[in-house]
Copies of this chain bind each other. A is one copy, B any other.
Amino acid sequence: MLGNFTYCNPTKLYFGKDALDGLNEELPKYGKNVLLVYGGGSIKSNGVYDKVIKILKDNGKNVFEDAGVMPNPTSEKLNEGLARAKAAKADLILAVGGGSVCDYAKAVSVSVNCNDDPWDKYFIRFEEPACKIIPVGCVLTMVGTGSEMNGGSVITNREQKLKIGHVFGENVFPKFSVLNPEFTFTVPKEQMVSGIYDIMSHILEQYFSGMDDNTSDYIMEGLLRSLIHSANIAVENPTDYEARSNIMWTATWALNTLVAKGKTTDWMVHMLGQAVAAHTDATHGMTLAAVSIPYYRRILPYGLKKFARYAVNVWGVNPEGKTQIKVAEEGLLAMEEWMKKIGLTMNLTALGATEQMLDGIVKSTLIMDGGYKVLDENDVRAVLKASF
C-alpha cells in the first residue's frame, strides 16, 4: 500500500430479496418532498415503480417525478432535472434504475443549489460542490457501474461530443442504496452482459497499473474470478439468484473506492469507450468491450509482469516452460474468448461507429497517465482502428 490515503464510504446498503424494506428505515430521516428519478419506464412494467410509490406514500411523502433519464444522461437533461428538483423543493432524490439514473441523480444533487452551469463547473472545470447537496438514495435495477456506492457521475454533452465523469467526494455518495438482485432479472440479456463487462473493466482499470504487490491486487483477482464464475452461470440462466447476487455484490466492490486505495490506476479503456459513446450513444459496457483487447495488446509489453500474473491468477494459464510474454498473451487470448462466449460486442462497427468518425473519436479521447504506457494520438488512433 503505497502513499498516504484516506478511506471512508458511508453509504448504507440494503441487500437481498427484501432489500426494498430498507426504504422504511431510511425515508423517515428525510423531509417530505421526494424527487423520484428514473429512466425509460421499465420500472413500470416490472413492478418496481408501484412498489416504490407505495412505500413513499406509506411514509407520507410528496412524490415528484423526473422520468426519461437516458442511458448516457445529457447535460440538457441535467438542466431539466435541477429545475424539477428546485421546483419540488426536494429533500431527497430517489434514483430508481441503473448506473445512469444514479449518476444523473448525483449530478442533480450537486447542481440544485449551485448558480454556475453544472456541465462547465463539474465536468469541464472539475470543481467541487460548494453548495448544499440534496441527499440521494438509490434503488438499483441494473448492475455494472458501481454508482450505488461511490461519488462517480458521468454526463454527456451531445453538442460538444464529450462524455465526462466526475468522481465526487463522500459527501456526494448515495446515503443508502437498495440492492435486490431480483430487480435485475428483467434486464435484457445484452444489457446484463454489458454490465458484466463494465464491472470487469472497472477492476482491470485499477489492476493494470503499477507493479507493486498490493493487497488490492489480490482482492481484485478474487473479484475477477468471482465475476467470471458467476457470469458463466448467469449467461446460461439469467434468473439464477445466487449468480446474479454475486455479480451485483462484485459490481459494488469493484468501484466503491476500496480497490484503488494505496495504488495507481489507469482508466484509459473508459476514456476510449466514452469517446466512442459520445459519437454513437452506444451502450457503455459494449464500448469498453470493443476497445479493451486492442488496448491491452498495445500496452502489454510495458506491463508484461502484471499481464503474466493476470493470466495465471485469473485465467488459470499454466506458466510452466513458457516465456513471460507467451503467458501474458495467453491470458489476453483467454479473456478475448470468454468475452465472445458471453456475447459481448467486440468491435466498433457493431456499435454504430464508422471509419469516418475516427478523427472525431480520437479528438474526444481524454488521455490518462496512470497506465503502463501513456498513449499518444498515434496510439489512440491505432487502438481504435484495431477495434473496428
Which residues on A are within 8 Å of B, measured CB to CB? 1-19, 22, 181, 212-215, 217-223, 225-226, 229-230, 242, 245-246, 248-250, 253, 258, 261-262
Contacts and interface: CB of A to CB of B under 8 A. Distances in A.
A230 B1 CA distance: 11
Given A7-B12, A11-B8, A261-B15, A229 B250 contact: no
A233 to B, nearest CB: 9
Contact of A245 (B1, B16, B22, B218): B1
A297 to B, nearest CB: 26
A173 B50 CA distance: 36
Nearest to A21: B4
A223 B219 contact: yes
Choose among A7, A217, A253, A261 the residue with the greatest number of B CB atoms under 10 Å from its CB: A7
A218 B213 contact: no
Nearest to A243: B213
A184 to B, nearest CB: 13
Contacts of A229: 213, 218
Which A-B residue pairs are the 3 nearest by beta carbons? A4-B16, A222-B222, A218-B222
A250 B230 CA distance: 25
A226 B263 CA distance: 15
Given A4-B14, A9-B9, 7 more contacts: A1-B15, A1-B242, A10-B10, A15-B261, A15-B262, A212-B242, A220-B222
B1 A17 contact: no
A1 B223 contact: no
11 contacts: A1-B242, A1-B245, A4-B19, A5-B16, A8-B12, A10-B10, A16-B262, A215-B253, A218-B225, A219-B222, A220-B222
Nearest to A177: B7
B12 A6 contact: yes
B15 A4 contact: yes
A215 B1 contact: no
A29 to B, nearest CB: 13
B10 A246 contact: no
Contacts of A1: 15-16, 181, 242, 245-246, 248-249
Contact of A226 (B5, B6, B10, B218): B218
A8 B7 contact: no
A198 B238 CA distance: 40
Contacts of A15: 1, 4-7, 261-262
A106 to B, nearest CB: 19
Contacts of A13: 6-8
A5 B242 CA distance: 14
A246 B263 CA distance: 11
A213 B226 CA distance: 8
Contacts of A19: 4
Contact of A262 (B4, B11, B230, B245): B245
Choose among A6, A9, A219 the residue with the greatest number of B CB atoms under 10 Å from its CB: A219
A248 B214 CA distance: 12
Contact of A219 (B10, B217, B253): B253
A176 to B, nearest CB: 8
Contacts of A213: 229-230, 242, 246
A15 B215 CA distance: 14
A290 B217 CA distance: 31
A130 B290 CA distance: 55
A112 to B, nearest CB: 25
A12 B225 CA distance: 29
Choose among A5, A220, A248 the residue with the greatest number of B CB atoms under 10 Å from its CB: A5
Contact of A223 (B10, B212, B215, B225): B215
A259 to B, nearest CB: 10
